[in-house]
Structure 1
Amino acid sequence: MAEFDTSRVAGRSIPGARAAEIDTGLRAHMNKVYGTMSVGMLITFAAAWALSGLSVTDVPTQYQVGPDEYLTGLGYALYASPLKWVVMFAPLLFVFGFSAGINRMSAATAQTVFYIFAAVMGISISSIFLVFTGYSIAQVFLITSIAFAGLSLVGYTTKKDLSGFGSFLIMGVIGLVVASLVNLFLQSPAMMYAISILGVLIFAGLTAYDTQNIKNTYLAHAHQGDSEWLGKAAIMGALSLYLDFINMFMMLLQLFGNRE
């Protein structure tokens, strides 16, 4: 879908005053998308950090999982027992359920569910604090933030139609998921390295694509004035960009993170 001219929305000409109103609405819509995403990111990393102390050694009950590696009871349940599979796949199931059920939710409920999902994601990725140094996590997070901001800006401002890349990028994501599942059993460092490189490229492309799609979706429906629908569209947009950021961060961490 080509970039919209705000003087023409959904194929119809609109007066200058209405175009200015749509421009203002678009800015507010994008601010809501980025604001919701940012709060979700804070919740995710707060949840992950809160669980990072599960490897401490000065607790009465400890579980040794390796040379000089100990977990608390909760840490063992999350990272070294069959429950780890539930923790690992819970965010994926949550996304499918959220996407399928959002039409039956109010915008306020959808936002609350998104924040709950962000906390679940934080629990799922909390093991990064056991694997990588805190400094490298912060460093990769900063790199990801800068890259994400640049890519999202490209998606928002470019006049190039990115819609043709959507199917290709989604197919790439499916390929990454399948390859990652296979590598859970193979444990191949070379395969993990290849997955991480391809993942960074795919989620970089999705960041630009999703940003343009969020913008165009708003402009295509702005004339309808359905604030409830637009509110839920902003939350789904925040979810898309949030997933792009988290996945790009995790792939970059695999490539450049310093391990404990």
Structure 2
Amino acid sequence: MVKRLGQGFKQVYRHGPNDTRYQELILSQWYQGALGQELIEAERGLISRAISGRFGASMVQLDSGFHEILFEQRLFGSGIIVSQLENRAHCPVVCAKPEDLPFEPESLDMLLMHHTLDLCENPYQAVREGALALKPGGLLIVLGFNPLSLWGLRSMIQSRPSGYGVWNSRFLRSGRVADWMQLLNFELERQEKHLFLPPMNRPAWLKNLALGEHVQRKLLPFTGAVYLLVGYKQVFGKIHTSPKRQRRSFMDSSVTANSTIREQPR
């Protein structure tokens, strides 16, 4: 039993799924279930609050299999989904890996990573690609599964080295991802835990356990199944001053328009 838990720990917290394309296909089916729908509904609300009052010309969602836009597309000039699988989403779809985004540097206003780091091969490289693609002041939103939760416990017990599905996703600590973002010059606005539902795919049980969810939220707020990170890209050394506040040079400050220069007697 201890050996199995150790293997589950390595699979979930370090390696993640072996075939990311097949993992996305499995997750696209899981999102249609009762638990998946509860997750999507909660995450829509989180994303809506994160981008409230913001506008931009371009928004990209790095998808994990849901294959639908999770933000209000009317707030942006264009909404694009990046997926490893072809799908019928009601928006432009780009087939690419999150570690190799096909966008020009500093071309995006907002980037949403919807459980991208839970299934990609190199999570840090995916965050780095996002940092390169965002404009100065651009917003990065990261949603991921929290290992310090009941969902993380189930994934550690149920995951298999050659398995797929939500419980074989990579459960990264939000603090680790936050460190990557700060290293890449992001200023964090939010670092939160949400969704205190038990990891059960039965609608009747989910409704009956609402009281337990409320108690867990109050007593153990760090055990939410999903973490939310929101940060904007900082740019150092590009502060532009207005002409009125520009400093004069040493020679200009020594001689003014009203001053006179007298010759000193030799």
Same fold flag (TM > 0.5):
no
Structure number with higher helix proportion: 1
Higher relative contact order, structure no. (Cα contacts within 8 Å, ≥ 6 residues apart): 1
- TM-score, structure 1 normalization: 0.23
- TM-score, structure 2 normalization: 0.23
